[in-house]
Structure 1
Amino acid sequence: MDYVRRHIEPMLDESLRAFRVVVLHGARQSGKTTLARQLVQRRGGTYVTLDDDATRLAAIDDPVAYLSGLQAPAVVDEVHLGGDRVVRAVKRLVDDSDVRGRFLLTGSTNFLSVPAISESLAGRARILRLFPFTQAEIDGRAAIDLAGWFDDCEINAPHETDDRAQYMGRLCRGGFPEAASLTPEQRQGWYGSYLETVIQRDITELGDIRRAEALVDLVRWLAANTAAELNAEAACRQLGIDRSTFNHYFAWLRTVFMINSVPAWSRKHAARAVRRPKSHFADTGMAAALLGVNAEALASPASTIAGPLLESFVTNELARHTAESAGARIHHLRDYDSHEVDIVLERADGTVAAIEVKATGSPSENHLKPLRWLRDRLDRTAPGLFRVGVLLHTGPHCHRVGDRLWLAPINALWHSQPQIR
């Protein structure tokens, strides 16, 4: 497919101007290599990948000599395969020079979580995460402007609306660039191969994984339980594994960016909040493929998995935008009195935007109850913090439904934004 401009590009350019090293990590096949090559094409420099055996051996054999010969900005792709030896050489070289943008390091594992890399490059590097495509990137639109939600308490109507079947099609397509252009049948095979590659190359080789089949079972269990609070005891019981194995495997799935963990939101005015995080499959296309469901099945009102997958789809969209803009942190909320809010966005100043996600095209008054509850509670205990509550749904309606409460189509997240020229 043609090159798709990524929303992170301005932040990447700014980081290379300000830092000696920039680390760009993210899931395998999320577009890091394409973006890195595009950067070298625009700015000059050198691109090498440690995924190539000969290059990796040369870099590991004498990393200082090898890396010092690369023209800046030097892109070292899949840097985690070089381990601590290569990263420590980067540290030594940048400590001997104040050149900004000397290295761009990319990797398919979380740079701060790989056991083989003990050097964090603290004080020398900026770490950025590249997610798979957002819907706005696929449609050639600007990133969502969440400031309008917080500052103006306004939701812009989308230029056009999707229906439930179209949303489920987007959900099943997912965001991986390679998979986005495939047919649904081809995509099913692509995701199967992707899972095998990640488990065999990025987890089994780097981690102490003794039961790869149990890891696959855990991946499928997490897909079936996406958008739910993480219940390790239930997983261990159903999969026949112990808690330490679960913790070890789950940590690795987060390290390779397959699972996003959304923390519970809690403040002094929400003291009865349950503290367990929610687990979201990081790409709903992969989750749907693992569960064997397609857009047609999910479009049926009888589907029981459509709602959780749609919540993960929206959560992932917001996580990608908030990570790129660094304007808000994403949480969920449930208290011991059974009040739940799917998504709570909190800015550094403490103000919040609350979001509910429903697969229905005809939202009812009952669907607004969680948003009204949180608004009223915060108005009593912390006036001014609650900025807006939005019920995102699969229908066409976009309008205010009360004090700081809105109904809006899900694609208001991207179709209300201008196209990128």
Structure 2
Amino acid sequence: MHYIPRKIEQNINVALKRNKSVLLLGARQTGKTTLLNQIPTDLYISLALPTVRQRFEKDLALLLGEIEALHTKKAKIPLIVIDEVQKIPEIMDLAQDLIDRKKAQFILTGSSARKLKQPGKINLLPGRVVALKLTPLTISELPKDKKNLEELLLYGTLPEIITQSKSQDKETDLISYISTYLEEEVRAEALVRNVGSFSRFLELAASESGNIINFRKLSQEIGVAHTTIAAYYQILEDCLIAERIEPLRHTKTRRRLTALPKYLFFDLGVRRLSANEGTKLPAKYIGSIFEQFVGLELINSINLAAERYKIYFWRDVNGSSEVDWILDKQGEYIPIETKLTSNPTIKDAKHLQTFLAEYENTDKAYIICTVPRKIKLHEGIYALPWQEMGELIF
């Protein structure tokens, strides 16, 4: 597969130069292994290989011995890559010991945070490790000939899918992803007892991606407790399949804002196949899919930013006023609406105007759409091409 340069490579190199180790999390097929092949290392261990994993599961001292032997041979501290570290979470404790004794520097990767978060079992190496996240490709990472919006909405932006030239090959690979990872590994990772209910949940969660989620309502549709629905969504978060987006709750008016979250599937191609949708973008839902595309781009770009920005949505309890996305730049709010149109007007900015009037710490608002270049629609309100929304963050 042709390597597509990733912006997070710079973040990794900066951390390594500061003598920090790196914990790189990312869903399957986001390109972690391919990325690491670009970085010179002294030892590469993939726990995805059963023989390798079984060897160290039996005796973790073997790994300790290999790394200490490397340290003896090297004039500098060796750089060790351990891929899929969640397969043997106890390696985190071993890594802490070696880091503290200055015997090794690590890049640890994982496609699930679930086992790494279990209390009392795993040390997440606070202060010793820089935690980074590898997402599907951002717009700025896409090759110039891969920026067809319809294709991106249909097939998503996983590197392996983007590099395929034929639509049928993209579809085949996405089907394989669903069957080999979502349906098997996520269930195994979660130790789900009721496989049938989890499969129904997965399809419904994909269909509801981008919508406000009411656990009790979903529990009635699937026939399980609302606490089970909450646990299932936590599984998707831990396995890096879904992003939880909180509503903006801050207001100085008497407006009652929703307290319910949204969830976004991490990739639109994976979402579509999980929801059992075909290869035609339905006119009824295409606006929602574009909204999710913009939300994911903002989230993925925030992951690359040096500043700690956040993303929210804004909606009152009866839905009379809502804004698709709110970018929180350390207290400065930027409201963002999405419209799949090349001819936006100030009428499309009604909710943006409401938001600007109610929040003092914001003076600009944007409609992300398909205009060829940036347009000023009104004082402080702009239409912005979807290809250029990275300028809101970087």
Q: Same fold (TM over 0.5)?
A: yes
Q: 1:231 to 1:326 in 2, by over 3 A?
A: farther
CA deviation profile, 1:397-419 (whole Å, cap 9, x unmatched): 5211112110122122369999x
User: Structure 1: which amino acid aligns with 2:142?
Assistant: I
Identity %: 23
User: 8 Å contact 1:273–1:335 — kept in the other structure?
Assistant: yes
Give the C-alpha shift of residue 213 in structure 1. Answer: 2.8
Aligned to 1:287: 271
User: Structure 2: which amino acid aligns with 1:322?
Assistant: I
CA distance in 2, matches of 1:316, 1:417: 13
Aligned to 2:293: 313
* Contiguous gaps of at least 5 residues in structure 1: 142-161
Give the C-alpha shift of residue 367 in structure 1. Answer: 1.3
Aligned to 1:147: none
User: 8 Å contact 1:112–1:120 — kept in the other structure?
Assistant: no
Give the C-alpha shift of residue 34 in structure 1. Answer: 0.7
Give the C-alpha shift of residue 77 in structure 1. Answer: 0.1
User: Structure 2: which amino acid aligns with 1:170?
Assistant: L
User: Structure 1: which amino acid aligns with 2:350?
Assistant: K
Q: 1:14 to 1:317 in 2, by over 3 A?
A: same
Give the one of 380, 387, 392 matched to 1:411.
387
User: 8 Å contact 2:27–2:112 — kept in the other structure?
Assistant: yes
CA distance in 1, matches of 2:65, 2:256: 55
Q: Give the aligned length.
A: 379
Structure 1 stretch 330-339 or stretch 191-200: which is displaced more? 191-200
**Structure 2 residue 60 is the aligned partner of structure 1 residue 63:** yes
Aligned to 1:79: 85
Q: 1:390 to 1:360 in 2, by over 3 A?
A: same
Aligned to 2:75: none
User: 8 Å contact 1:307–1:359 — kept in the other structure?
Assistant: yes
Equivalent positions of 1:86-165 (< 5 A) are 86-97=91-102, 102-110=105-113, 114-115=117-118, 118-139=122-143
User: Structure 2: which amino acid aligns with 1:38?
Assistant: Q
CA distance in 2, matches of 1:392, 1:199: 31
Give the C-alpha shift of residue 224 in structure 1. Answer: 1.3
CA distance in 2, matches of 1:279, 1:363: 27
* Contiguous gaps of at least 5 residues in structure 2: 71-77
Structure 1 stretch 262-271 or stretch 272-281: which is displaced more? 262-271
Give the C-alpha shift of residue 92 in structure 1. Answer: 1.7
Provide the secondary structure at the position in 2 that maps to 1:269.
coil
Structure 1 stretch 394-403 or stretch 45-54: which is displaced more? 394-403
TM-score (norm 2): 0.88
CA distance in 1, matches of 2:128, 2:184: 29
Deviation >3 Å, runs of 4+: 111-117, 199-202, 290-295, 414-418
Q: 1:93 to 1:417 in 2, by over 3 A?
A: closer
Give the C-alpha shift of residue 353 in structure 1. Answer: 1.1
Q: 1:65 to 1:17 in 2, by over 3 A?
A: farther
Equivalent positions of 1:354-365 (< 5 A) are 354-365=335-346
Aligned to 1:155: none
User: Structure 1: which amino acid aligns with 2:313?
Assistant: H
Provide the secondary structure at the position in 1 that maps to 2:366.
strand
CA distance in 1, matches of 2:270, 2:187: 20
CA distance in 2, matches of 1:228, 1:207: 24
Give the one of 217, 222, 229 matched to 2:205.
222
User: Structure 1: which amino acid aligns with 2:109?
Assistant: T
Q: 1:399 to 1:261 in 2, by over 3 A?
A: same
Provide the secondary structure at the position in 1 that maps to 2:363.
strand
Aligned to 2:73: none
CA distance in 2, matches of 1:212, 1:19: 44
CA deviation profile, 1:44-80 (whole Å, cap 9, x unmatched): 3211100112211222233244145235210000000
CA distance in 2, matches of 1:208, 1:30: 24
TM-score (norm 1): 0.83
Equivalent positions of 1:362-381 (< 5 A) are 362-378=343-359
